[in-house]
């Protein structure tokens, strides 16, 4: 799918600007040079308010100072306001920034406007999901301008070919939704997806991670109440044995990461397991995604017996992140192989009930919901 999208993407970039650029488009006499210093641009963001939601882009002047300066100037002049995302590849890219798209009567010329205004600033920056890069005229150097595209997925085949000037930090789900807009056979949007306004703002200071500074003793005062479709269970934590796992679990639970997941794995007289992100009914928000990280193991001498809560991982012991399991019986083979970080102190009957549901292999025949995980403090 990625290769197919990439092939269509290159075709789209090559169609309109190349074929029609000599038919009335006028190049700028001088290429834009930013009037701002790197220090003045380094902490800036561009906020795109669209018909389908807000996209926040970190500007990257260390990669492309003149492109960033141009985007800042155009945004301050209102040049993006009223433009549209006029081309898209479903789950591939979206393209916008053409001033001609403000006028529906200019639809035949969409893709030709705003080019040849700034020199190339190619870099080793990778075209990752959310990368924002300049549209150029094929085979014409220094032909970038106001037009840009955003990668909906990683596009390594584009590395080194287009100037990256930004990275989406909020609103990647909006970008994905825009990419799903209906298009004609040439990839042009059938319906207008407008950019209502673009603001340049200072990058807000990142909020400190919750549960970052509590001591082990303070962490031990928290509990988690796991509400399931079979009832609730309460977990106490081994903050003295696995403080980083406890911090991680509290952080994810407090942010609602586990809400709407399910117990996707049930092994009779062994474990019940949840925390697998694809089981979530709704996609994670970007704030939730940013909280997810892999954990180094904190193996300890806790015995894996009924009610013990432990973090799952893959072949690499340092790959634990969100998925955890609860023992429904003695499981000595798990001792010192998985990080035990808590124990169910209320609701063992719920644990046993979930552990007894009918399964196909290890998958429950009927969904066992995690309705919510609440953090409470004694």
Can you give the pLDDT at residue 21? 33
Every domain range in the chain assigned CATH 2.40.100.10 = 2-202, 216-377
Q: Which two tokens stand for residue 135?
A: 């549209």
**DSSP symbols for 12-81:** HHHHHHHHHTTTT----SS----SS-HHHHTTEEEEEEETTEEEEEEE-TTT-HHHHHHHHHHHHTTSST
Question: How far is the CA of 260 from the CAs of 39, 75, 311, in angstroms?
Answer: 43, 39, 19
Residue from 130, 134, 132 nearest 114 by CA: 134
Can you give the pLDDT at residue 289? 87
Global pTM reads 0.63
Compute the C-alpha angle 181/186/188, nearest 5°.
Answer: 40
Q: Are 324 and 366 in contact (CB under 8 A)?
A: no
Q: Which two tokens stand for residue 375?
A: 């953090």
Quickly name the fold that domain 216-377 has. Cyclophilin (2.40.100)
Can you give the pLDDT at residue 2? 31
State the CB neighbour count (10 A cutoff) for residue 212: 8
- Give, in words, the CATH class of 2-202: mainly beta
Can you give the pLDDT at residue 13? 40
Can you give the pLDDT at residue 209? 84
Beta strands in the chain (DSSP E): 44-50, 53-59, 87-89, 93-96, 131-134, 148-151, 164-170, 195-202, 222-228, 231-237, 265-267, 271-274, 308-311, 324-327, 340-346, 359-360, 363-364, 370-377
Each residue's pLDDT expressed in tens, for the chain with a length of 378 residues: 232 233 333 333 433 323 233 333 444 568 999 999 999 999 999 999 999 999 999 999 999 999 999 999 999 999 999 999 999 999 999 999 999 999 999 999 999 999 999 999 999 889 999 999 999 998 899 999 999 999 999 999 999 999 999 999 989 889 999 999 999 988 899 999 999 999 999 999 877 888 989 999 999 999 999 999 999 999 999 999 999 999 999 999 999 999 999 999 999 999 999 999 999 998 888 789 889 999 999 999 999 999 999 999 999 999 999 999 999 999 999 999 999 999 999 999 999 999 999 999 999 999 999 999 999 998
**What pairing do the DSSP bridges indicate for beta strands 87-89 and 93-96?**
antiparallel
Task: Tell me the C-alpha distance between 371 and 110, whole Å.
Answer: 47
């Amino acid at each position: 799918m990625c290769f197919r999208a990439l092939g269509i993407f290159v075709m789209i970039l090559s169609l309109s600007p190349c074929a029609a650029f000599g038919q009335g488009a006028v190049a700028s006499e001088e290429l834009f040079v930013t009037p701002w210093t790197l220090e003045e641009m380094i902490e800036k963001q561009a906020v795109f308010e669209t018909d389908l939601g807000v996209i926040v882009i970190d500007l990257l002047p260390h990669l492309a100072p003149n492109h960033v300066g141009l985007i800042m100037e155009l945004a301050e002049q209102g040049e993006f306001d009223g433009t549209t995302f006029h081309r898209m590849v479903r789950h591939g890219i979206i393209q916008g920034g053409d001033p001609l798209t403000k006028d529906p009567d200019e639809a035949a010329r969409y893709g030709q406007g705003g080019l040849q205004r700034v020199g190339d600033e190619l870099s080793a920056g990778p075209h990752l999901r959310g990368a924002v890069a300049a549209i150029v005229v094929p085979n014409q150097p220094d032909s970038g301008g106001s037009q840009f595209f955003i990668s909906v997925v990683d596009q390594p085949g584009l590395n080194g070919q287009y100037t990256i000037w930004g990275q989406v930090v909020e609103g990647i789900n909006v970008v994905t939704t825009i990419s799903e807009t209906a298009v004609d056979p040439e990839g042009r949007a059938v319906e207008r997806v407008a950019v209502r306004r673009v603001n340049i703002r200072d990058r807000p200071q990142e909020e400190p991670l919750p549960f970052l500074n509590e001591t082990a003793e303070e962490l031990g005062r928290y509990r988690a109440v796991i509400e399931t479709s079979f009832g609730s269970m309460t977990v106490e934590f081994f903050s003295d044995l696995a403080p980083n796992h406890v911090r991680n679990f509290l952080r994810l639970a407090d942010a609602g990461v586990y809400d709407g997941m399910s117990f996707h794995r049930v092994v009779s007289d062994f474990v019940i397991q949840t925390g697998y992100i694809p089981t979530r009914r709704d996609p994670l928000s970007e704030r939730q995604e940013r909280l997810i990280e892999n954990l180094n193991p904190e193996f300890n001498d806790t015995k894996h017996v009924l009610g013990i809560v432990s973090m799952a991982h893959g072949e690499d012991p340092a790959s634990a992140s969100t998925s955890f399991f609860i023992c429904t019986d003695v499981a000595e083979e798990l001792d010192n192989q998985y990080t035990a970080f808590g124990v169910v102190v209320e609701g063992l009957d719920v644990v046993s009930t979930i552990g007894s549901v009918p399964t196909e292999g290890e998958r429950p025949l009927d969904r066992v919901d995690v309705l919510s995980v609440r953090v409470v403090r004694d």
